[in-house]
Amino acid sequence: MPKTITIEKTAARTPGKNRKAGSKAARRALRLAYRTRRGMAPVYATGALAAAGSLLSVPPDGWKTAVAATVTSAVVTAAWGRWNGRLHPKAKRRRKRLPQRGDFIAATSAATTGGALITTMAATGGVQIGTSPFPGLLLAWGLSHGVYWWRRGERTAAPQPVTDLSAQMQAWQDDVACSEGPLPGSKLVDVVTTDYGWTAIIVVKKGTWKRAAAAADDIAGALDIPEEMVQIEKAAGQSARRAIIAVFDRNPLQDGTDYPGPHILNTTTGQAEVGIFYDGAPARYAFWKPSGPVHSVIYGATDGGKSRFLDMLLGTERHNGIVSIVCDPQGGQSLPRWREAVDWYEDTAQGGLAQLYAIRNIMYERSGRYSMMEFTDAKGRKLRGRDHFVVGDPDPLISVTIDEAHRVLALPGAPALVLEIVLMARKCGIKLRLVFQGPKANMYGSGPESTDIREQLQSGNTVMFRTASSLTDSIGLPGWDVNPSQLPMYWPDKTSTAGLGYIKGPDNRQAQFRAHFDRDPAHWATTGTTPTLEPSAAAVAGKAYSERLERLAARLRGETVALPEEAIPVAAASAADPVAQAAAAIEAEAPAGTDDKVAAFLLERGRPVGRNVIAQETQLTVSAVKNALSRLKTKGLAVDVDRGVWAHPDHVETPAENTDLPAAA
């Protein structure tokens, strides 16, 4: 019989089942670790440092790998911080937890100190529990960075819905952004509550921010609030589709601000903080800029705040070395405190015209002097002929203020004279400030120059308080979507809104501002010293200037005073060419003996010579020499042999030396 072999089977462990049970436990552990990854991140990072230090301690050059990893992590952290700082605003808003500066510092600390620990462990043999300080250092590292991490997690928790902003957003969507609203498809973002209402950014669907500004009144109607309680302006530095809207519960400008004093002028920039905008930012007015003085025009209806604004400017000028020349054609009633506190004050329209003729003389006197002036430029080079004005080097800035300027510009010859000054005076350090009740062209005189004067003045500072007609709003501030005529005359508490308006100056904000209020102009008018013209300018200003104090004293005694006959050329009152008559005024002011001095110089020179050389040698102004030569030519005592080159009749044929010709023109 064949043998039967019986084999017994015994129970034994199955390796496959053990592996399956182990993998399930590992997956559970991984899921738990993933769910707790945020809260346990410092613990995991500490364990990773310990493991990395132990592993890198095995190879002899493992510390080199640790150094490379440390440098790499530091570079990546720095790049992350720089990228985050330059992140586009839209991308920033999409991120739920935007890293702050403290986060960047903490990340840099973790990368560098952690890398230092790994490097040290790799170089000294790993963690070495019980025989080294590394376990304690790892624990300290994990706790220090873990505390910051856990506290940051509390600060960056998902914000709770802000219920007090939802009403504004909902109202905008329902009443403004709807298909029948003033701005269909627009959005309201970045809503912020303020102590005077709320502000936000309007994002228009089509067009630019100007579309929102033009719809300001309709938006106020849609939101069911008064028109004057809505302010819309350009969102500076942002997309052209964005505008800033401010909705007032109470206009923040109602309380106003007091004039703090002449220190509002920054003598480095030439700008003065003359008021505040609705958001508290300072409103600036430029007295000068690097290229020279800045002309100004001020508009405003009765009780708009013009006179008090001028009080502030004149007080600032007096205490900052600026020569103020003032004409108040209303008999001095608008600016009475400055009658004795400025260098030259006139209270009639005729006096204002006399001032303009004197200013023209000063302009040409300075121009001739500056054209030959030696100076050192920024590179240390010595040059001749300065084409710009520097305040106080060597002469002071002259500021000419004419209140109710339409009365002066109505006089014959005044518009052409003002236009000439406006176009040429800035390089000579002369600033013109005209004040009107409105910007219509007829305020600037009836001549063809009226529009040019207005455009030149409005290219500088334009201050527009409440006006009387909506038809002129766009004329005074062309290109601006504002309505000064819609500004209220009284606040809700029945007090005056004087000083409320718009200012086009260095800030260039199409936003409401309110000027500082000078409660005591007499204080600034009676303290300090009055800046005056330099001697050379005073010499050509004529008797109207030199006798100003005598006329003022007589006026204060109640006497009737009259201007010197030569202050306003007689022919100027009826001449068809007032500019030519203005030139005649300069001739009348030439120093005595000018003709004889020039004729004697030509005879002694013995050859043709340029008129600028004549001015240098005779120590006369270029304009005085020019007019003297014209008179001598009429008398047959001088001959113009070439452009700007003159000679005595006996020396016309004598060749001129080259040194005489460069300065001929």
Q: pLDDT by residue (tens digit) across 509-561?
A: 988 999 999 999 999 999 999 999 999 999 999 999 999 999 999 988 888 88
pTM exceeds 0.75 for this model: no
Question: Distance between CA 165 and CA 190 in Å, rounded?
Answer: 10
When pLDDT is averaged across residues 149-169 and rounded to a whole number, the result is: 56
Q: Name the least confident of 124-138, 306-320, 550-564, 588-602.
A: 124-138
Question: Distance between CA 151 and CA 7 in Å, rounded?
Answer: 68
Q: Which pLDDT value is given to residue 360?
A: 94
Between vectors from CA 594 to CA 589 and to CA 600, what angle results, nearest 5°?
Answer: 170
Q: Name the least confident of 261-275, 421-435, 595-609.
A: 595-609
Q: Which pLDDT value is given to residue 571?
A: 45
How do beta strands 500-504 and 461-465 pair? antiparallel
Distances (CA, A) of 134 to 94, 108, 114, 130: 41, 21, 12, 9
CATH 3.30.980 in the chain is located at: 163-248
* Residue bearing the bigger pLDDT, 424 or 445: 424
% of the chain surpassing 90 pLDDT: 32
Q: Which pLDDT value is given to residue 96?
A: 44
Q: Which pLDDT value is given to residue 67?
A: 77
CATH class of 590-660: mainly alpha
Backbone φ, ψ for residue 317 (5° rounding):
-65, -45
When pLDDT is averaged across residues 622-629 and rounded to a whole number, the result is: 83
When pLDDT is averaged across residues 379-383 and rounded to a whole number, the result is: 86
CATH 1.10.10.10 in the chain is located at: 590-660
For the cut 80, the answer to whether the pLDDT of residue 623 exceeds it is: no
* Residue bearing the bigger pLDDT, 475 or 148: 475
Between vectors from CA 242 to CA 236 and to CA 247, what angle results, nearest 5°?
Answer: 90
How do beta strands 282-286 and 271-277 pair? antiparallel
Q: Which pLDDT value is given to residue 37?
A: 67
Please enumerate in sequence order all residues whose Cβ is within 8 A of that of 29, keeping only pairs 6 or more positions apart, or say none: none
Q: List residues bridging with 600 in a β-sheet.
A: none
pLDDT tens digits, 463-503: 999 988 877 788 888 888 888 888 889 988 899 999 999 99
For the cut 80, the answer to whether the pLDDT of residue 36 exceeds it is: no
When pLDDT is averaged across residues 269-296 and rounded to a whole number, the result is: 93
* Residue bearing the bigger pLDDT, 368 or 109: 368
Task: From the options 3.30.70, 1.10.20, 3.30.980, 2.60.40, give the CATH code of 163-248.
Answer: 3.30.980
CATH 3.40.50.300 in the chain is located at: 269-541
pLDDT tens digits, 67-86: 777 787 777 777 766 666 55
- 269-541 belongs to CATH 3.40.50.300: yes
Q: Which pLDDT value is given to residue 4?
A: 41
Closest CA to 285 of 113, 431, 497: 431
pLDDT band, very low/low/confident/very high, at 353 (cuts 50, 70, 90): very high
